[in-house]
Amino acid sequence: MKRRELVIVLLCLLVLSNIATYRFTRFFFSSPAVEIPWEWGQEGLLREVWAILDKKYFQPLDEDKMIQGAIKGMLESLDDPYTAYLSPESMENMMIHTIGSLSGIGVEIIEDEGEILILRVFDGSPAEQAGVRRGDCIVEVEGKSMEGVKLDDAARLLRGPNGTTVNIAVRRGGEKDLLQFTITRAQIDIDTVFARFLEKGVGYIKITNFDQGTGEDFQESLASLEQEGLQGLILDLRDNAGGLLDEAVAVGEIIVPAGEITRVVDREGNVQERYLSSAEPKDYEIVVLVNEYTASAAEIIAGALQDSSKAKLVGMPTYGKATVQHLHYLSDGGGLRYTIAKYLTPRGYDLHQQGLQPDFTVELPTEYYLQYYTLPRQMEQGDSGETVALLQNMLAFLGYPVEITGVFDAATADNLKEFQRKHNLPVTGAMDLATRESFHAALTEKAGEVDKQLKFALDILTAKSLSAHKN
């Protein structure tokens, strides 16, 4: 009896299953595959999917969005972060960094707490001549509020043809009213080479990026130092993310002794091109500063000098980016940047994803990096949290006897008052825009005093501690 009941139950379940399958699938329809020309190959599959969706998808298609998605999917499948599609807007920004010049007012801006903040005013720029300062907040451009405006959009409003004017309104710490400026745009050249003497006979050159003209600027800077009695050179490539291969080679042709600077190889390892230097060896010692953000073209120079045994590398292992990209302009005004080869050092070392190992590993103290942090514009007694602890750490680094508690107490306010008094600021004991800008300047100056990498490079050139250091 029980067996008969079990059979009946199973039959009922089977019937219910068939009914459910019918109900859930009766709204699906099948169609024969779209016939595509055989010569299209795998590309035909993409066209086939597009044709089906274009004719039968239940909503209108956003063709631009779908094309962008298809391109993004193709490029992501390569698992290569350096191969990418660049929108017309991204191309514009990249070309500014690559060419090293633009037409505008001469400021570097960032988004800060939802507002557009001037981070840097270029020397000799129209903005500097008009009286614009670092730390000013841009509130309006041509009467348009900058509230909620994206950073790229704000930058485009400030840029424009040479000789045209732009009206901006800024808010400045310590000023009650907005400051109005009418600025005439001009061609702004972005410097990438900075040179000076650190002490008698010891020169210092920092290259921030390899843009168009970097090689020529380096040649002029080095020649100037040599004419003034250069006896030792520190070449600072820290935080240099690379740039144009041709500009790196141009620098190499000046500073790397006669021989190979780098070689470019294809995916099979075949040498496509060798870049050579014919320069005479320098009659002074060279030390190259590198860190974990030294990459690409900067690694070419560092690697060539290290392989030549004519320079010592000091700092931290480098980033390890040794691929070469080509930029192809596209019909929509954008571009396709894709990897075409990789480069090796003169001795054949492949540093990609490995980096260069410095001859002398020297770490920077944690306090050195405080200069790169940004404090909130407003803080006062009674506040608490991580930003207050950051403020207290900065005060302690600057020599003020403050306890790190994360609480903005009376002692913190008193120390901040002392800082404001020392820097001729309104003595309020609270953080404001003007105080924050003075903090940044003070931290940058103090960081130079604890730059152990730079100090060690100096010691090498003055023969103070080379034998005492163990790597």
* Least trusted range by pLDDT, from 18-32, 160-174, 415-429: 18-32
The DSSP code sequence of 108-127 is EEEEETTEEEEEEE-TT-HH
Q: What are phi and psi of 257, to 5 degrees?
A: -60, 155
Task: Give the mean pLDDT of 251-256.
Answer: 97
User: Which residue has tokens 């921030």?
Assistant: 208
The superfamily CATH assigns to domain 101-189 is PDZ domain (2.30.42.10)
d(CA 471, CA 396): 31
d(CA 332, CA 312): 47
User: What is the pLDDT, as a whole number, of residue 395?
Assistant: 97
467 catalytic residue (yes or no) = no
User: What is the pLDDT, as a whole number, of residue 94?
Assistant: 73
312 catalytic residue (yes or no) = no
Phi/psi zone of residue 137: left (φ > 0), alpha (ψ -120 to 50 degrees), beta? beta
Between 151 and 369, residue with greater pLDDT: 369
Query: Is 70 exceeded by the pLDDT of residue 447?
Result: yes
d(CA 316, CA 453): 9
Q: Kindly list the distances between the CA atom of residue 28 and the CA atoms of 22, 34, 51, in Å, as whole numbers in the listed order.
A: 10, 18, 19
Return the structure tokens found at 218: 């380096």
Quick one: which of 360, 307, 340 has its CA closest to 467? 360
User: What is the pLDDT, as a whole number, of residue 21?
Assistant: 46
- In this structure, is the dihedral angle defined by the CA atoms of residues 300, 306, 307 and 310, taken in order, positive or negative? positive
CATH class, domain 193-361, is alpha beta
User: What is the pLDDT, as a whole number, of residue 86?
Assistant: 87
Share of the chain above pLDDT 70, in %: 88
Between 122 and 206, residue with greater pLDDT: 206
Query: Which of these is catalytic: 296, 308, 383, 451?
Result: 296
In this structure, are residues 262 and 229 in contact, taking their beta carbons and an 8 Å threshold?
no
Task: Give the mean pLDDT of 252-262.
Answer: 97
Phi/psi zone of residue 114: left (φ > 0), alpha (ψ -120 to 50 degrees), beta? left
- In this structure, is the dihedral angle defined by the CA atoms of residues 461, 467, 469 and 471, taken in order, positive or negative? positive
pLDDT tens digits along 321-379: 998 888 888 888 888 989 888 999 999 999 998 999 999 999 999 999 999 998 988 99
The structural domains of the chain, with segments of one domain joined by +, span 39-77, 101-189, 193-361, 366-449
Task: Give the mean pLDDT of 50-63.
Answer: 87
- In this structure, is the dihedral angle defined by the CA atoms of residues 453, 458, 461 and 463, taken in order, positive or negative? negative
The alpha carbon of residue 232 and the mean position of all alpha carbons in its chain are separated, in whole angstroms, by: 30
Confidence band of 152 (pLDDT split at 50, 70, 90): confident
User: What is the pLDDT, as a whole number, of residue 67?
Assistant: 84
Average pLDDT, the chain: 87
Instruction: Kindly provide the residue ranges of all beta strands, DSSP E only, lying in 26-130, ordered along the sequence.
Output: 84-86, 101-104, 107-112, 115-121
Q: Could you tell me how many helices (H) and strands (E) the chain has, helices first?
A: 13, 19
* Least trusted range by pLDDT, from 42-51, 152-161, 350-359: 42-51
State the helix-helix crossing angle for 43-56 and 63-76, rounded to 10 degrees. 150
User: What is the pLDDT, as a whole number, of residue 459?
Assistant: 94
- Number of Cβ within a 10 Å radius of residue 415: 21
Would you give the DSSP letter of residue 261?
A: E
User: What is the pLDDT, as a whole number, of residue 41?
Assistant: 60
User: What is the pLDDT, as a whole number, of residue 100?
Assistant: 55
Confidence band of 443 (pLDDT split at 50, 70, 90): very high
Confidence band of 406 (pLDDT split at 50, 70, 90): very high
Q: Show Cβ contacts of residue 359 under 8 Å, excluding neighbours closer than 6 positions.
A: 306, 312, 313, 314, 471
pLDDT tens digits along 182-225: 999 998 888 899 999 999 899 999 999 999 899 999 999 999 99
Domain 366-449, architecture per CATH: Orthogonal Bundle (1.10)
Task: Give the mean pLDDT of 446-466.
Answer: 87
Confidence band of 265 (pLDDT split at 50, 70, 90): very high
- Number of Cβ within a 10 Å radius of residue 20: 10
β-strands 202-207, 144-145: how paired?
unpaired
Q: Show Cβ contacts of residue 290 under 8 Å, excluding neighbours closer than 6 positions.
A: 237, 238, 298, 302, 313, 314, 315, 316, 317, 318, 356, 358
d(CA 371, CA 447): 7
Reduced to 3 states, what is the DSSP secondary structure of residue 431? strand
Is-above-0.85 flag for pTM? no
Confidence band of 14 (pLDDT split at 50, 70, 90): very low
Identify the bridge partners of residue 328 per DSSP, sorted by sequence position: 336
User: What is the pLDDT, as a whole number, of residue 16?
Assistant: 46
Query: Which of these is catalytic: 206, 321, 438, 451?
Result: 321
d(CA 276, CA 27): 69
Return the structure tokens found at 46: 């993409």
3-state secondary structure 359-394: CEECCCCHHHHHHHCCCCCCECCCCECHHHHHHHHH
321 catalytic residue (yes or no) = yes
Would you give the DSSP letter of residue 300?
A: H
Tell me, what amino acid is at 449?
Answer: E
pLDDT tens digits along 77-104: 988 888 999 888 788 777 766 655 577 8
In this structure, are residues 415 and 402 in contact, taking their beta carbons and an 8 Å threshold?
yes
Side-chain half-sphere of 348: how many Cα atoms within 13 Å? 3
- Number of Cβ within a 10 Å radius of residue 385: 12
